[in-house]
Structures are given as C-alpha cells and as structure tokens.
Amino acid sequence: MASSGTAYLLLDVAGTPCALPHAAVAEVLPLPDLHAPPAAGGWLSGFLNLGGAPVPVIDLASLLGIRADPSPAGLYAHLVLVRGEAVAYCVDRVADLIIVPDPAIRPAGEEGTLNGCVVAELVRDERLVHVLAPARLLSAQERARVAALARVAAERLAALPDLA
C-alpha cells in the first residue's frame, strides 16, 4: 500500500531552501519587468500588471530577513502568485514540484520559525526544507499598507487613456 503525501513547490530563497504547499499556489511566472513607483521600497519590489490589475510583488528573501537588501533579480527568478491573495512573491528560483510522504513532514519547532511563518519542515536528502504558510508571511498591518499601495497603482493605471 502506497503511503500518502502532500505536494509542495520547492523554492530557493537567497540560498535557503523553502517550500509552499502546492494547494496555496495559484501560478508561477517568470519574472517580468515590474512597475516600481516611488512608494515601493524595502521588500516591496513593485507591481506586476496582470490583466490590467496591479499585483504587489514582494521580495521574499528581504521580507524574511534572509537578505538584508533587495538585490536585482537573477536569471532564474520567478514570481509565485498565492491562491486567494492579490500578491506575488519573488523568489530566486522555483526549483521543483514534489510529493512528500507524510512521515517526512514534521511540525516546526518554536525557535527559528521566521516570525511564525515556518509551519513545518520537510526532510529531504538529509536536509531540512522550511515550509512557509502564505497566510502568515505578512502581518495585518503590512497587508493593509500593501493593499493601499495597490489601490493607488490601480487608480494611476485607470487614469491613463486606453490605447486598445
């Protein structure tokens, strides 16, 4: 009898192996040119124009404190759009989609959980991979500020003439 497992998207976040539950991922895109208004900065890289709607793009390494300053995206950078959220996370690379057997998934300890967003660890090839909970990546205050900036970006876009 085959053991059950859970699907995860493996990510490279500034050299740190991380994973997101596949069920939480809506889409993975190669990194396009982003609109970076003056209000963007820190871990907010800018906005992706997705079907005429500005989607905030967050540098995941900077947000998690793994990398102090946002760095220019590399050749293999990807955007991960989270299901049910109007946000995309920029990662250095989406490495793979894997099924992890249940015995190889263990809850994360209290220490080293990156502000509570690491909810489990995957045991892979004698190393641990941090499983991130998308709902815990941004605080309520951060979500409100990012949403406000997205509204401003949408208003600016709407003020431009439609050339279609």
Quickly state the pLDDT bin for 70 (edges 50, 70, 90).
low
3-state SS class at 14: coil
Rg of the chain on CA atoms, in Å = 17
Which residue, among 132, 120, 129, 35, has the nearest Cα to 80 in the 3D structure?
132
pLDDT of residue 23: 95
Which residue, among 116, 118, 114, 115, has the nearest Cα to 129 in the 3D structure?
118
> How does the average pLDDT of the chain come out, rounded?
85
DSSP 56-109: EEEEHHHHHTSSSS-----TT-EEEEETTSS-EEEESEEEEEEEEEGGGEEEPP
Look at residue 21 and tell me whether its pLDDT is greater than 80: yes
Look at residue 93 and tell me whether its pLDDT is greater than 80: yes
d(CA 80, CA 20): 10
